[in-house]
Amino acid sequence: MTASAPYTCGVDIGSTWTKVVLLDRAGEVVARALARTAMSFEQAAAAALDRALAEAGAAPQQVAATVATGYGRRNAPFADRHRTEIACHARGAFHHHPHACHVVDIGGQDNKIIHLLEDGSVEHFLMNRKCAAGTGAFVEEIARRLDLDLADLEHLAEGADRDITLSSFCTVFSATEVIKLIREGERPENICKGIFNAVVARVAEMGPLGDNIVLTGGVAAAFPVVATILAARTGAEVFVPPYAQFTGALGAALEARHPAAV
């Protein structure tokens, strides 16, 4: 890799999905790619990078620098540097929404709340790592219990005629609740809405969110209803950046382009 190469790369190796973003010299996104993390962080990172390079019509030697972030950031063999999820999600979110805000990232197996100041610096953050309740894994597990495709959940939730909330503290307990609700004849639409109510409840229980929220992560990207429910519950303005699932990878690519002072 050489400084004269035209691209910088960010790779976000999450517990469920690995994301790659490529930027050109002007800082514009030229490619995004996803790969299932599955059994090997290294293979997922390599696969996502290959897909991004193919989309950009670029070769590996044209990448000047790569920053890795996420749960498996130490497992990206082609990375030049590593940065925390907090730093990269903050930078990616602030790139799209340059204001003081609370970044809420709903990931595959954890949730993050990051409070950004007016200059984009991180004042403090909170993470939920003790249970996958309210995360992408939670949504997938409940969908499996209902024998529904993930793509069907949002459409069904839109047809709900009453609000219910599944347990936001434990995925196992929530699954038990679903079985009980099915036995009692609850409408699938209401149960699906209950899934998203539970996701938002878990986030709200983590700590204060302020009146300006940036919602990121795969759940936000796949299910816009989560932003609607979060706004209704908090009374806040909720902004979902473009390609919300790639926010951390974007932040990593921006860090590769211009490293932060700290």
Rounded to an integer, the average pLDDT of 37-65 is: 96
Rounded to an integer, the average pLDDT of 95-106 is: 96
Give the 3-state secondary structure of residue 205. helix
Within 8 A by CB and 6+ apart from 126, the residues are 112, 113, 206, 207
* 96 or 134, greater pLDDT: 96
Residue 131 has pLDDT above 90, yes or no: no
Quote the pTM value. 0.92
Q: For residue 110, what pLDDT is reported?
A: 86
- 223-233 pLDDT, tens digit per residue, is 999 999 999 99
Q: Any alpha helices (H) in 79-127, and if so which ranges?
A: 85-96
Q: For residue 132, what pLDDT is reported?
A: 67
Q: For residue 54, what pLDDT is reported?
A: 98
d(CA 209, CA 243): 22
Residue 109 has pLDDT above 90, yes or no: no
- Domain annotation for the chain: domains and CATH numbers: 7-87+246-257 (3.30.420.40), 99-240 (3.30.420.40)
Average of per-residue pLDDT values in the chain: 91
Q: Could you give the C-alpha distances from 155 to 103, 188, 193, in angstroms and in order?
A: 26, 11, 10
Cβ distance 217 to 245 under 8 Å? Answer: yes
- 240-253 pLDDT, tens digit per residue, is 999 999 999 999 99
Q: For residue 197, what pLDDT is reported?
A: 92
State the residue for tokens 């079985």.
179
